[in-house]
Amino acid sequence: MRLPDFLVIGAAKSGTTALYDYLRQHPRVAMSELKETNFFALEGGRPAYRGPGDDETINRLSITDLDAYCALFEGIAGEHAAGEASPLYLYDPRVPDRIRGCVPHVKLVAVLRHPVHRAYSAFLHARRDGREPLGDFGEALRAERARIRGGWEHLWHYRAMGFYGRQLERYLEIFPAERIHVLLYDDFVADPVGALQGCFRFLGVDDSFVPDTSMRPNVSVADGDMPPTLCPQLKADLTRSYAADIARLEALLDRDLSAWRRPGRRLPAGGEAVTARPV
């Protein structure tokens, strides 16, 4: 029974689709044909999310049966690193224990984006797909708690999904830090080939391979459209709500993220991905 050697665990709208597409170009990396299996979040259940479009997407497409999950990796040669990418894994608190119980020696890859930018990108993504009924990001944020109580899927958890510090800590309490590879979106955008070659080294495959990174999959607005500007006051307020968690993440990654706490500032490029510190 073949199971994955590595998992891309998140975060949503942080470049996981691009990472999935670029990794699968490597001749010794095999990704599941289905991105976002959501298996370790939804195993054994029947997803019944109730947000707009949830039934046609996460409810119907998620893999919840172990045999069906294993079938995704059947026929993959042993010299290949087999993986899948489900951004829900970083966010759902039940997932780390479930992963440990099924694939205890798996490697984990996370891509983290400025949490305010991530949240706004998710909103634009939902608007692009005709799923977000509210036209104002601030209104959508105010509706978030009610939506969570109402059973809308994690796409709608715009603010809540950005608390990476607490989310990453759950993994570091269970898995050795050397098996968790953390990329920052800023570095991925600045040097995609370098970031991917770092992933290849982490996965134990040839890191001299150069993937084609000219395509940008899953952008949040239609080609040719300019995304609407995020209200500066809303951006500042949302940034402040993440300040303590960003400090928490800084300690875990030993990386200066002070630019994430100042609206309008960009994170200085840091080159190699970060190995998280044990907790």
Task: Check pLDDT > 70 for residue 279.
Answer: no
Q: Which of 211, 203, 13 is nearest to 108 (CA)?
A: 203
> What are the residues whose beta carbons fall under 8 Å from the beta carbon of 71, sequence distance 6 or more?
none
Residue 271: per-residue pLDDT: 44
Percent of the chain whose predicted confidence (pLDDT) is above 90: 84
pLDDT confidence bin for 194, thresholds 50/70/90: very high
| pLDDT digit string, tens, across residues 137-146 | 999 999 999 9
pTM value is 0.92
Domains (range + CATH), the chain: 6-275 (3.40.50.300)
Residue 222: per-residue pLDDT: 44
> CA-CA distances (angstroms) from residue 212 to 16, 24, 91?
16, 11, 29
pLDDT confidence bin for 81, thresholds 50/70/90: very high
- Given a contact cutoff of 8 angstroms between Cβ atoms, the answer to whether 150 and 52 are in contact is no
pLDDT confidence bin for 223, thresholds 50/70/90: very low
pLDDT confidence bin for 77, thresholds 50/70/90: confident
By residue count, the chain amounts to 279
